[in-house]
Amino acid sequence: MNKNLFRRYMAQASDFDPFIIDVSHTEGVYVWDKSGKRYFDFISSICVNNVGHRHPAVMAALHEQMEKYLHVMVYGEFIQQPQIDYVARLCSFLPPTLQKAFLVNSGSEAIEGAIKLARLYNKRAEIISFRGSYHGSTMGAMSALGDTPIHDRFSPLLPQTVLYEYNDLGAIEKITDKTCCVIVEPIQAGTGMTVPTVEFLKAIRQRCSEVGALLIYDEIQTGFGRTGKLFAFEHSGAVPDILCIAKSMGGGMPIGAFVASEELMLLLESDHPLKGHASTFGGHPLSCVAALASLNVIVELLPCLAQKEARIRKWLSEIPQVRAVTGKGLFLAAHFSEDFDTNRLVERLMSSGFISFYPLFNHSAMCLTPPLVATDEEIDEAMLLFKNVVQSFI
Ligand SMILES: Cc1ncc(COP(=O)(O)O)c(C=O)c1O
C-alpha cells in the first residue's frame, strides 16, 4: 500500500525497485523497516551518517537549538551564533588558506558556489573535471559530471567543460591559462573508491598555481573522517583553493559549504547580495548545531579508524570472490569480476539486512562505507553477513 502511494506521489529518482525500504526508525548503525526488520546501514546512507543515525550528541544539540530559534533570515544577513560556532571550529582544523566558509544546503550547491567563485576570480570559462566523477545534479555541477551520455540528456550545459582521465598525469598539461578551475575528488567515489597517486594530485595543485586556475576539491563524500583523516586532502598534502563539503557535515541534517581564503571570499561581496551568492536556508541553525556536534564526535573517532579499516579489509580478504579492495579508511569498495551481478547482490544483501550499493559508474564493485561509529562487534556481525551472502551467491 505504502509502495503504491510512494510511486503515486513521489517523483522518482530511479526506476529500480528492490532497494525500497519502508523506514520506521533508525539508531546508530541500524535502520528498521515497518515490519520490524533491522538493516545494517553499511553505506551510511551514502556517506551521510558518519556518526551513525541520530547520534545522541547531535540529537541533544538539535533539541537545545529547537527551543531557541529556527530560520530567522536568509544566509548572511543576521548574526547566528550556531553558524559562527560551527565555522570557527571547522576552520580550526583547516589550513590558513581555507578559513572562510559560505554555508549552503547541499553538495551540489557547494559546487555551484565554488564554480561561481572561480569565475569571479579569473573570469575564465573552461572547467576541467574527470571521467567517472559526480559533483551533483544542478546544471553547473552536472556540467562537470564525468559521463557524457548523461550530459547529452540535458545539454546544453555550461560551455567549455572538459573531461580528462582521472589519475592520468597526461591531463596536467591540459590545464592552461584558459582554465578557470579544476574540480576533483581526492578519492573518486563513482568508479569505486579510486585512489589517485599523490603525484597526480600534487601535479594538479602545482599546475593550477602556475596558470592561475583555481583548484576545487569535492570532499562531499570523502570529508569528515570518511577516509581516515578529517579531510582526504590531508593524505596528499595538496591543499585546494576551494573545499566543497556536505553530506556527513550535518550529522544527518542538510548542510553544505564551500570554504576558501579570506581573499577569495571577498570577491563575493558587492553592493548587491545577488551579485555574489545567496541561499535562503544555507547554514540553518539546526543544521549548524548538528554539524558542530557531529564534527566533535568525528574528531574523537579519528585515531581508531585505521584499525576499523584493517578489520573490514581482513574480512574481505577471506572472501574469494572479492578480487580487489580499493579506497582508504572506511571509504572502501570491494571489486568483483566484470560479470558479477551486483544488482542481485544488492537485493540479496538487502533481504539479509545489509544495506549496500554499487558505485555510480562501476557495477562490478560494492561500496563499503559504514558509519565511523560502528563498533568492532557491529563490523564483525555485518561483515559475516556480507561474507555469507557473497559466498552463497550463484
Ligand atoms: C562526490 C559528490 N559530490 C557532490 C554530490 C552532490 O551532493 P548533493 O546530493 O548533496 O547535492 C554528491 C552526492 O552524492 C557526491 O557524492
Tens-digit pLDDT profile for residues 140-174: 999 999 988 888 899 999 999 999 999 999 999 99
Q: What is the total count of domains within the chain?
A: 2
Ligand 1 midpoint to CA 219 (Å)? 9
Residues 177 and 131 reside in one and the same domain? yes
Query: Mean pLDDT, to the nearest integer, of 18-39?
Result: 93
Residues 47 and 63 reside in one and the same domain? no
pLDDT in tens, 316-327: 999 999 999 999
Residues 293 and 378 reside in one and the same domain? no
Q: Which of 267, 300, 333 is the last residue of a domain?
A: 300
Least confident of 68-82, 267-281, 369-383: 267-281
Are the beta carbons of 168 and 338 closer than 8 angstroms? no
**Residue-number span of the structural domain to which 175 is assigned:** 57-300
Among 103, 221, 222, say which to mutate for ligand 1: greatest number of ligand atoms within 8 Å of CB: 221
Q: Which of 300, 331, 350 is the last residue of a domain?
A: 300
Q: In this structure, what are the phi and psi dihedrals at residue 76, rounded to the nearest 5 degrees?
A: 90, 0
Burial of 277 (0-12, 13-18, 19+ CB in 10 A): buried
Residue 393: the pLDDT is: 80
14: its cell numbers = 530511479
Residues 258 and 122 reside in one and the same domain? yes
Can you give the pTM of this predicted structure? 0.98
Is the distance from the beta carbon of residue 255 to the nearest atom of ligand 1 less than 6 Å? no
Residues 241 and 133 reside in one and the same domain? yes
Residue 3: the pLDDT is: 86
Residues 289 and 325 reside in one and the same domain? no
Residue nearest ligand 1's atom 16 by CA? 221
pLDDT in tens, 182-219: 999 999 999 999 999 999 999 999 999 999 999 999 99
Q: Over the range 108-130, which residues count as b (16 or more CB within 10 Å of their CB) and which as e?
A: bbbbbbbbbbbbbbbebebbbbb
Among 142, 147, 220, say which to mutate for ligand 1: greatest number of ligand atoms within 8 Å of CB: 220
Residue 11, domain CATH: 3.90.1150.10
* pLDDT surpassing 80 at residue 15: no
Query: Mean pLDDT, to the nearest integer, of 229-254?
Result: 98
Residues 51 and 61 reside in one and the same domain? no
Residue 1: the pLDDT is: 65
Is the distance from the beta carbon of residue 134 to the nearest atom of ligand 1 less than 6 Å? yes
Is the distance from the beta carbon of residue 221 to the nearest atom of ligand 1 less than 6 Å? yes
Percentage with pLDDT > 90 across the chain = 91
Q: Which of 253, 274, 300 is the last residue of a domain?
A: 300
Are the beta carbons of 332 and 298 closer than 8 angstroms? no
Ligand 1 midpoint to CA 67 (Å)? 31
Among 108, 138, 243, say which to mutate for ligand 1: greatest number of ligand atoms within 8 Å of CB: 108
Residues 50 and 63 reside in one and the same domain? no
Residues 64 and 51 reside in one and the same domain? no
Residues 336 and 263 reside in one and the same domain? no
Query: Mean pLDDT, to the nearest integer, of 218-227?
Result: 98
Tell me the CB-side half-sphere exposure of residue 339, using CA atoms within 13 A: 1
Question: Which helix (DSSP H) or strand (DSSP E) does residue 366 occupy?
Answer: strand 365-368
Residue nearest ligand 1's atom 3 by CA? 135
Residues 178 and 74 reside in one and the same domain? yes
pLDDT in tens, 284-339: 999 999 999 999 999 999 999 999 999 999 999 999 999 999 999 999 999 999 99
Residue 135, domain CATH: 3.40.640.10
Contacts of 278 (CB under 8 A, 6+ apart): 74, 75, 76
Residues 350 and 245 reside in one and the same domain? no
pLDDT in tens, 61-96: 999 999 999 999 999 999 999 999 999 999 999 999
Show the CA angle centred on residue 258, arms to residues 256 and 261, nearest 5°: 150
Residue 14: the pLDDT is: 81
Residue 148: the pLDDT is: 84
* Tally of CB atoms within 10 A around 27: 13
Is the distance from the beta carbon of residue 285 to the nearest atom of ligand 1 less than 6 Å? no
Is the distance from the beta carbon of residue 135 to the nearest atom of ligand 1 less than 6 Å? yes
- Of the pLDDT bands very low, low, confident and very high (cuts 50, 70, 90), residue 17 is low
